[in-house]
Amino acid sequence: MAQRRRGAELEKALLDASWDELTDSGYARFTMDAVVKRAGTSPPVLYRRWSDRDELIRATIVHVLRESRPAVPDTGSLRGDLLALMREIATAHVQLITVMYAHLASYYRETGRSPSSLFDPVATGRAAALDMLFERAVDRGEIEPELLTERIKTLPFVLLRHEILSTFAPVPDHVLEEIVDTIFLPLVH
């Protein structure tokens, strides 16, 4: 007999099942019942945590973003750190970004939410990771802190996301280098 899951282990299993259902079936066919079946649990177990599909999808996306958060590289240079981080995102996170934007288009229309409402960098821990990367660069004297606005900090990743959504494929290294060398670094020197 299988051991009963509880607490964080149960919540992770439910959110993982929800993500699998979302990626396999898409938003239009995503149901609470399908998640219950996939997780091998009962409806009350799921509904105790999330009262409806919208709550479950939001919790699932935050969970996946937290789980998939890449480590902050420390290569000794801002250029190296950015390229290492962007390479990981450009290869390992294509499915995540595709689901966030393409598969959830109906969700955004139905709920009036935007992708940024799900991709909250504070809730997912991504803001702290980027801050650490840029603080190290400031400490090394590589960038001028007064030039580093929030929009400029996120610019390389906005461009990376655009590339992924334009192709639904991993982004080639020469494109990442162009984003960093030609567009981003001149803005912060």
CA distances from 82 to 107, 147, 171 (A): 31, 17, 14
The topology under which CATH files domain 70-188 is Tetracycline Repressor; domain 2 (1.10.357)
- The region of weakest confidence among 101-110, 142-151, 180-189 is 101-110
Residue 142 has pLDDT above 50, yes or no: yes
Would you kindly state where each structural domain of the chain is located, as residue ranges? 7-63, 70-188
Q: What is the pLDDT of residue 116?
A: 73
Average pLDDT value over all residues in the chain: 88
* Phi-psi map region of 4: left, alpha, beta (phi>0 left; psi -120 to 50 alpha): beta
151 CB neighbour count, 10 Å cutoff: 9
Residue 78 has pLDDT above 80, yes or no: yes
Specify the pTM: 0.76
Give the C-alpha separation, 133 to 6, whole Å.
Answer: 36
Q: What is the pLDDT of residue 125?
A: 62
* Per-residue pLDDT band at 3 (split at 50, 70, 90): low
- Per-residue pLDDT tens for 86-112? 998 888 777 777 777 777 888 888 888
Is CATH 2.30.140.10 the right assignment for the domain spanning 7-63? no
- Per-residue pLDDT tens for 34-74? 999 999 999 999 999 999 999 999 899 889 888 877 788 99
77: which 2 tokens?
Answer: 């240079």
Residue 147 has pLDDT above 70, yes or no: yes
Give the C-alpha separation, 184 to 10, whole Å.
Answer: 42
3-class secondary-structure state, position 126:
helix
What does R_g of the chain's alpha carbons equal in angstroms? Answer: 19
Q: Which amino acid is at 161?
A: R
Q: Which helix (H) or strand (E) holds 37?
A: helix 32-39
* Per-residue pLDDT band at 83 (split at 50, 70, 90): very high
